């Protein structure tokens, strides 16, 4: 659940934002008994791979250490714990993505001891969260602990993150109950997500005491719904995931709706044609107009994933649009993001124009986040990151976003073999591997707090995007 609350950033001293929360954990650099490599250095390929493998292993160890077997989610360090059940909020959907990263790592390193522990701990989380309430047969229609939170509210983007993870977990373990849960979550979103205020798409949430139409249509929920629909069809071969059911939905409808409603076209020919520059809008207004100046990286990443999975699905299913068209959409969106540097940004759109207020790649060519800094000239070094789980200054949702995008370009490049994406993933992974702390910034060896499980999840995804080894998560 990513709440859109516009805050006025106060001009606080930057160091106040950087309070490391994992002092008890050794840094990767210290564990290797060496100083952090300057990001400008380019070591030999063999050394780079070894450093990245070591950094990925360190990130996995930290995440598994942060996992709380009693609550089945992840701790934030220094006594800060996530809620034990589905209360919504960042901890809940961050945990889905932490497991997604761990499962993907296990797929890529299937013979490792870490892979065995990941599968065991995941099974424990499934049992503890489900508590006997999850489906044990195919294609069920019901409620489970992932559909409605403890306040009686439903966040369809939260459901999408967990649905995606359980489908990936099935790919890893072939545990049928994981697939059954993903199917039930898809059924729930299809039945309940297309509310009146969605302008034809999936709404982000429906509050128990809110209006019956739910909130407005949302890029998070819709990109996830498209990705999960196409992926479920590819895995199961069940056409309902492409066509929808009596309530509507399905991948074919959703893909067409997104293309017509949620695209910010910046430059070049129409999306689907080589050279097009565009991003996915944040949401629709009540008047059904694409809007938002924060096109978060997790949205762009999930849409790259969604169109990549539509390519795979449409190769098997008779889609009205060719499979290669979706491959081109995935490539153009990914390229728009990785080429959106501060200089390039100024050439085709201005700050606070459609899509985002800041670029997605910093001046060093490293992926960042279109977050608002306290000082414009210091972006992204002074972006507001938050310093607590809740209260007046909560951790920002985008602490985890870069890894989600990197995971997506790894999957899309399986089909594309685009050298620009390959080079970008390699450069980012090499920069990450030289960090002394796995925090928000991927090219800073200075204070980089908070260093908590969402930033470490993001780092793991960023490393695996270059290391690879399996496409089961794609």
pLDDT tens-digit series, residues 194-241:
987 889 999 999 988 877 677 889 999 999 999 999 999 999 999 999
pLDDT (0 to 100) of residue 119: 98
The Cα–Cα gap between 399 and 295 comes to 14
Q: Which residues pair with 373 in a beta bridge?
A: 383
Q: What is the mean pLDDT of the chain?
A: 86
Q: Which of 42-46, 294-298, 301-305, 315-319 has the lowest mean pLDDT?
A: 42-46
Q: How confident is the model at residue 387 (pLDDT cuts 50, 70, 90)?
A: confident
pLDDT (0 to 100) of residue 349: 45
Complete domains list, the chain, with CATH: 14-467 (1.50.10.20)
Q: How confident is the model at residue 41 (pLDDT cuts 50, 70, 90)?
A: very low
Reading the block at residue 12, the tokens are 């606080």
pLDDT (0 to 100) of residue 156: 96
Q: Which residues pair with 81 in a beta bridge?
A: 75
Q: Which of 32-36, 150-154, 267-271 has the lowest mean pLDDT?
A: 32-36
Of 454, 468, 381, the closest CA to residue 425 belongs to: 468
For the chain, give the percent of residues with pLDDT over 70.
86
pLDDT (0 to 100) of residue 352: 40
The Cα–Cα gap between 188 and 180 comes to 12
Q: How confident is the model at residue 242 (pLDDT cuts 50, 70, 90)?
A: very high
pLDDT (0 to 100) of residue 17: 33
pLDDT of residue 364 exceeding 70: yes
pLDDT of residue 23 exceeding 50: no
pLDDT of residue 9 exceeding 70: no
Averaged pLDDT for residues 97-118: 97
């Amino acid at each position: 659940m990513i709440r859109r609350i516009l805050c006025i950033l106060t001009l606080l001293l930057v160091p106040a934002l950087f309070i490391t929360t994992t002092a008890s954990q050794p840094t990767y650099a210290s564990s290797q008994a060496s100083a952090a490599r300057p990001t400008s250095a380019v070591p030999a390929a063999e050394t780079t791979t070894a450093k990245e493998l070591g950094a990925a292993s360190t990130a996995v160890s930290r995440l598994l250490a942060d996992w709380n077997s009693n609550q089945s989610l992840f701790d934030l360090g220094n006594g800060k714990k996530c809620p034990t059940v589905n209360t919504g909020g960042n901890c809940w959907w961050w945990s889905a993505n932490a497991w997604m990263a761990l499962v993907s790592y296990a797929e890529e390193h299937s013979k490792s001891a870490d892979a065995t522990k990941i599968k065991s701990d995941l099974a424990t989380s499934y049992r503890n969260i489900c508590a006997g309430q999850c489906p044990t047969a195919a294609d069920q229609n019901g409620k489970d602990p992932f559909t409605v939170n403890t306040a009686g509210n439903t966040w369809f983007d939260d459901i999408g993150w967990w649905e995606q993870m359980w489908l990936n977990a099935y790919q890893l373990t072939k545990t049928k109950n994981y697939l059954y849960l993903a199917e039930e979550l898809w059924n729930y979103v299809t039945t309940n997500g297309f509310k009146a205020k969605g302008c034809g798409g999936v709404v982000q949430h429906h509050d128990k005491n809110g209006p019956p139409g739910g909130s407005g249509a949302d890029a998070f929920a819709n990109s996830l719904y498209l990705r999960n629909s196409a992926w479920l069809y590819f895995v199961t071969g069940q056409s309902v995931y492409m066509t929808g059911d009596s309530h509507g939905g399905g991948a074919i409808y959703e893909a067409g709706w997104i293309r017509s409603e949620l695209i910010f076209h910046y430059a070049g020919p129409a999306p689907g044609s080589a050279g097009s520059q565009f991003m996915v809008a944040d949401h629709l207004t009540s008047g059904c107009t694409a809007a938002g100046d924060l096109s978060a990286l997790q949205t762009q990443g999930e849409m790259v994933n969604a169109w990549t999975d539509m390519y795979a699905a449409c190769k098997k299913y008779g889609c009205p649009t060719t499979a290669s068209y979706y491959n081109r959409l995935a490539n153009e969106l990914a390229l728009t993001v990785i080429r959106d540097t501060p200089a390039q940004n100024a050439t085709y759109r201005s700050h606070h124009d459609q899509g985002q207020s800041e670029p997605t790649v910093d001046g060093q060519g490293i992926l960042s986040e279109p977050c608002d800094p306290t000082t414009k000239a210091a972006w992204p070094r002074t972006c507001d990151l938050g310093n607590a789980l809740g209260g007046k200054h909560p951790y920002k949702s985008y602490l985890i976003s870069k890894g989600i995008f990197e995971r997506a370009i790894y999957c899309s490049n399986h089909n594309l073999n685009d050298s620009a994406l390959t080079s970008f993933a390699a450069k980012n992974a090499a920069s990450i591997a030289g960090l002394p702390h796995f925090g928000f910034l991927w090219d800073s060896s200075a204070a980089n707090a908070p260093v908590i499980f969402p930033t470490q999840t993001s780092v793991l995804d960023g490393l695996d995007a270059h290391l690879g080894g399996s496409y089961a998560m794609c």
